A and B are shown apart, each in its own frame.
Chain A
Amino acid sequence: MRKLPVKTHGIPLRGVQRVISLALLANEWESGLQFMVLVDSIGDAGILEQLVDGGLKNIVVCVPYHLDWHSHIMPTVACDTRALELHDVVVLNLEKQELLVVYRNSDMHHAIQLTNRCNSFCLMCSQPPTTHDDQWLIDEALLVAAHINDSPSAIGLSGGEPLLLGPRLREVIDAYATRLPSTRIEILTNGRLLADEVLATHLLTGISDKVSWLVPLYGHADFLHDFVVQSVGAFEQTIGGLLTLQSYGQAIQLRIVLIEPTLRVLPELCRFIGRNLPFVREVALMGCEPIGFALANRDACKTDLADWHAELIEAANALRRANVPYIFMNTPLCALPQSLWAHAHQSISDWKRSFREECSICVVKTNCSGLFSWHNHNWTPTVIKAIDGKACNEEVH
């Protein structure tokens, strides 16, 4: 999530705001929303003050530092306004004097975090869970839905574990489905609590057909999967959850993070999926994000994908034979065998994505997912080496 240092003045509490210009305000103003209006002159700030004087209560003015000004009648935020875009949805964290951009129209990927809590403890968790009550995140997510002024092609609802919201998850899904009618809603979940019939019925009956479920599966037997997610009984619950989703006709993407314990069983796991879970819409094979628990569990999580090409090809063949579509995510092309390049996606969020020096002479860079910006030289998915023209003549037509 993008963060921006700010200096606030007169803002009583943390809140969600839509970034907007003075020119757009007349067109978009609503009583229930909060607007953070970008102005870059004292004159425009004066017009805003007149609006506030005239009765508008839901206005925060946002000025660049160099204006060195704050209002006496409306809340003021000073920051580097060039870092903001119109229609950004932002949250002001007053304690840290920070502004978080929680939604940006121009991003390729959108995700809303619904909780920090989780009922699993995955070896490579990129966002280690916390245990405290964070229901305020649910309320915030509902507000964020109302403040988005766009309907992006897809938005992810993530965590933590979204199913820990219980019935309120449906409230959030419905809010996004209503507010963003043409948006696909992707829920990143371990699926375990969907094994609970009462909750599953509540969540899934009559749910929007724009919803799909992104569920990780790390083994084809309980002790394999349970080891990776560090939770006894998780495999059975997740399989139960997947079958529940299937019985409600839900679209499912299975996700396999490519770390040593899953790579060791990958071909067998993919055969298992082809045989028992052939109804999934696709399988995503994902490079590991070197952050969070993955750093603490380096032994298991740091792999050179070049050492596993045989397994990757065998796994892909198993899925192809079972007619289960598959994609590779977060995997730079030089980490994959060339025969799998056609399945590799540019999946790393814009703000997390980076390239190496070597990449500048690489002929496939435009099709490459790139690297997580926090990949350091000690930990990349493989030894990054530019692909030259000769090497990929056959692939790039």
Chain B
Amino acid sequence: MKKFIKSLSLFIASIPLAAAKATAELPAGQDAVFESQLSDFNPVQLRPLNHGLDNLFAGHRSHSSHRSHSSHASHASHYSGSSGRGSYSVPAQDTTSSPSTTSPSEALPAAPSFSSEQPNKEIVSPRLDAPKPPLPSSQLTFEEKRRLQVMRVQIALIGLGLYAGTVDGEFNTDTQEALRSFQRLKRLPSSGLMTTDTLNALGIMAVQ
């Protein structure tokens, strides 16, 4: 029964043949219990933005003991500017799916094989120039998390017009001074530190 049928009428004529084949050549299937996916349940909790323990950097006064190391530098460069996009040819993506008038039976592509004897290089080889997606922040090092936390605070402070320096993750004196101004405005202890109360007042989630 290997013959390939192309027309619908031939196909219909051949259907009675199929009834005989209906009793299977396959072994009777084993029973498998698939766990219900309906048990996914995400309770929504009401709580302050950050609890004290969420905030890893509440006491950090300066970053001098945590010099940024090379892994951060390389991480940051993954996506900076347009580097690595040189041969990312801009594809004319056509999602409008214009109806084809050619017979679909034309030009059947050969099924590629992935078996070890015949690796399909064209399909499996990774592109070296592709932009790499970043790591989830939970996988950053402690130092990278701290820098991210400082940068977010700097972004918020610029948004409030309290800071006009660079957004670089350095917990510099300008940033601390801006935090103090913010804390005074919010009647918080003006420590110049990224305390949990300060982050909550800024509306910034603690980086974890």
Interface residues of A (CB under 8 A from B): 1, 3, 12-15, 22-23, 25-27, 29-34, 47, 50-51, 54-58, 93-96, 100, 113, 117-119, 121-123, 125-128, 130-131, 133-136, 139, 142-143, 145-146, 153, 164-168, 175, 178-179, 182, 184, 192-193, 196-199, 202, 212, 219-224, 226-227, 230-233, 237, 239, 243, 246, 249, 251, 260-261, 264-265, 268, 271-272, 275-279, 281, 291-293, 295-297, 299-300
Contacts and interface: CB of A to CB of B under 8 A. Distances in A.
Contact of A296 (B12, B99, B137, B151): B99
Point out which of A32, A58, A143, A224 has the most chain B C-beta atoms below 10 A from its C-beta.
A32
A122 B108 CA distance: 11
A277 B29 CA distance: 6
A93 B30 CA distance: 48
B114 A246 contact: no
B88 A57 contact: no
A223 B4 CA distance: 6
Nearest to A131: B109
Contacts of A125: 104
A175 B133 contact: yes
A128 B14 CA distance: 27
Contacts of A175: 133
B113 A27 contact: no
B139 to A, nearest CB: 9
A275 to B, nearest CB: 6
A243 B21 contact: no
Contacts of A279: 29-32
B168 interface: yes
Contacts of B15: 224, 264-265
Point out which of B92, B115, B154, B158 has the most chain A C-beta atoms below 10 A from its C-beta.
B158
B49 to A, nearest CB: 9
Contacts of B75: 31-32
B22 A272 contact: yes
Interface string B94-127: 1101011110110011011111100010111011
Contacts of A117: 109
Contact of B127 (A22, A135, A281): A135
B78 interface: yes
B58 interface: no
Secondary structure at the B interface, as helix, strand, loop or mixed, is loop
A26 B202 contact: yes
Contacts of B40: 153, 182, 184
A13 B88 contact: yes
Contact of B34 (A118, A166, A251): A251
Interface string B39-69: 0101000000000000000000000000000
Point out which of B114, B115, B116 has the most chain A C-beta atoms below 10 A from its C-beta.
B114
Given A33-B134, A54-B158, A281-B34, A27 B204 contact: yes
Nearest to A195: B111
Given A166-B120, A226-B5, A230-B108, 16 more contacts: A27-B152, A51-B158, A56-B167, A58-B80, A128-B97, A128-B99, A133-B122, A135-B123, A143-B131, A199-B115, A221-B22, A222-B1, A224-B11, A246-B32, A268-B18, A276-B26
Contacts of B100: 128, 292-293, 296
A58 B76 CA distance: 11
